[in-house]
Amino acid sequence: MPSGEIQTVIESPLGPLEASFTEQGLAWLSFGDRDAIAKASQLDAMTGDGNAMRDTLRSELDRYFGGELRAFSVPLDLHGTDFQTRVWRLLLKIPYGRTTTYGTIANLTGDSKAVRAVAGANALNPIAILVPCHRVIGHDGSLTGYAGGLWRKRRLLRLEATGVIEETQATLFAD
């Protein structure tokens, strides 16, 4: 997790999310491991509840997972190579509830042969959910890699298709 001014943990139906903010906006949102979550929880307790961006993100994620929110307003602070940030900005244009392919994104970058580079940029997306790399699928319609796990990608797409987050037991049987 990149260092930011505010680091926090946000509980979600898909497990805890760790977030890091800079003065410019949300710089990191990822499904975290237990050690990172514990560290961020301690930081969150020390910083209190006064950060407006953090509070907005929590509220918007609650509304998103409740099927009520389709677009986020939290400012983003994207850091990556020029190509990565260009891909991430293209991902932001994928409408809620819709999917596209890696090839389509590659074409939009101006290089139809950049499919693997697009997949690589997706894999390094620092802001899960808000930069919706979960909406990118294989050319044959298959669900392909997702840093948070394919089970999360499947549930996010189902949420956006139906407006309901599927409640399941812990991810004991997740793929």
Active site residues: 133
Q: Which helix (H) or strand (E) holds 150?
A: helix 150-162
165: DSSP letter: P
Contacts 24+ apart (CB under 8 A), 124-128: 124/80, 124/84, 125/88, 125/91, 126/2, 126/27, 126/28, 126/29, 126/30, 126/78, 126/79, 126/80, 127/26, 127/27, 127/28, 127/29, 127/76, 127/78, 127/88, 128/17, 128/29, 128/30, 128/31
